[in-house]
Structure 1
Amino acid sequence: MNLYVSNLGFNFQTEELATLFMEYGAVSSAKVIVDKFTNRSKGFGFVEMPNQQEAEKAINELNGREVDGRSINVSEARPPRENTRYSNRY
């Protein structure tokens, strides 16, 4: 299950995100999204957990939890949407 995590601190690192979710089960990948110019966190990231029950437990226990002085939001990630703004142009 792919999870979306928001309201992360701007100094939060990918390794910290993975460690946070490993408390609830196996993590196949974790990524904090960073600004390509400043290399600073944009305040959100994604975590992939292969076991659905573990992922749901992580959502239930981490959503709203204070991490690094901020109340984080955790939910199931929505699939990426197609960018139709330019695809119908030609």
Structure 2
Amino acid sequence: MSIFIGNLPYEVSQDDLKQVFADYGTVKSVRLPMDRETGRVRGFAFVEMDTEAEETAAIQALDGAKWIGRSLKVSKARPREDKRSSSSDRGNQKYSRRY
């Protein structure tokens, strides 16, 4: 399981996030995606902790919490959707109709 953290300020670092989440258990990894064009943080991150119980505790404590002047959005991360396959499926449906 992984934790999604949204509404992050652009100045946040992996170390900042690790420190905050360490209060709730062992942080295994922090992923902070960067924008390819600007090179700055995209405003969200993913944190993986040692156990599901630690992740649940962090989510409950930090969702909606004020941090660096922002209200955090913290939840279980959902699997990434492949947008290419869904858009191509819609395109194929257009041509498969029978008249």
TM range (shorter): 0.7 to 0.9
> Which segment is superposed worse, 55-64 or 31-40?
31-40
Sequence identity percentage:
35
CA distance in 1, matches of 2:17, 2:88: 34
Q: How many residues align?
A: 89
Structure holding more strand per residue: 1
Structure holding more helix per residue: 2
Q: Normalization by structure 2: what TM-score?
A: 0.81
Q: Which residue of 2 aligns with 1:28?
A: 28
CA distance in 2, matches of 1:23, 1:32: 19
CA distance in 1, matches of 2:19, 2:57: 15
Q: Which residue of 2 aligns with 1:81?
A: 81
Q: Normalization by structure 1: what TM-score?
A: 0.88
Alignment of 1:1-90 (within 5 A): 1-83=1-83, 84=85, 85=87
The answer on whether the counterparts of 1:17 and 1:31 sit within 8 Å (CA) in structure 2 is no
The answer on whether the counterparts of 1:17 and 1:32 sit within 8 Å (CA) in structure 2 is no
In structure 1, give the amino acid aligned to 2:23. E
- Structure 1 moving runs of 4+ over 3 Å: none
In structure 1, give the amino acid aligned to 2:82. E
In structure 2, give the amino acid aligned to 1:54. E
* 3-state DSSP of counterpart to 1:33: coil
In structure 1, give the amino acid aligned to 2:30. A
Kindly name which structure, 1 or 2, has the bigger radius of gyration based on alpha carbons.
2
Stretches of structure 1 that go unaligned for 5 or more consecutive residues are: none
